[in-house]
């Protein structure tokens, strides 16, 4: 019986309890629409993808509030809400709401607003 080759798949073992101190931030003042929420970001993975892009992932928690967001032409995000509720609003006034277990995709070039309705924790992946 042969020994299987090692798998390239890795587990991050990344949880809020084991992640250490987060990076703290708030939305830029010129983008604020409601509140001034504290955002906590734990980045688990940052890896090159192709020649000009990078993939990053981690956990994020934020207090209620709303601010404008603008994604670059190659930047996109997929996230899954672990707890709380949020909405992503597009420029035309349409929005999608997400709660525990829901996933959303924010496409490249997106412009709109991110709104936290109840303190939200999400697992995210960004391709930039």
Judged against a pLDDT cut of 90, whether residue 67 lies above it is answered with yes
φ, ψ (nearest 5 deg) of residue 71: -95, 145
Place of tokens 């703290």: 24
Domain span at 112? 23-127
DSSP string for 7-33: PS-------TTTS-SPEEE---GGGEE
Specify if 1 maps to a domain: no
Nearest alpha-carbon partner for 39 in 47, 48, 28, 49: 28
Spatial separation of the C-alpha atoms in residues 56 and 68, rounded to whole Å: 21
pLDDT band for 78, please (50, 70, 90 cuts): very high
Q: Flag whether 11 is in a domain.
A: no
> In CATH, what number is assigned to the domain containing residue 106?
2.60.120.10
pLDDT digits (tens, 9 = 90+) for 106-126: 999 999 999 999 999 999 999
With 0.85 as the threshold, say if the pTM is over it: no
């Amino acid at each position: 019986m042969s020994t299987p080759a090692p798998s390239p798949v890795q587990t991050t073992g990344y949880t809020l309890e084991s992640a250490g101190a987060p990076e703290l931030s708030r939305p830029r003042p010129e983008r604020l629409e409601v509140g001034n929420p504290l955002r906590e970001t734990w980045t688990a993975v940052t890896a090159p993808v192709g020649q000009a892009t990078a993939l990053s992932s981690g956990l994020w928690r934020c207090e209620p509030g709303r601010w404008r967001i603008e994604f670059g032409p190659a930047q996109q995000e997929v996230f899954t809400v672990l707890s709380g509720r949020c909405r992503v609003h597009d420029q035309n006034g349409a929005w999608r709401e997400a709660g525990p277990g829901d996933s959303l995709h924010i496409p490249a070039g997106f412009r709109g607003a991110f709104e936290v309705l109840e303190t939200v924790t999400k697992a995210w992946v960004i391709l930039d």
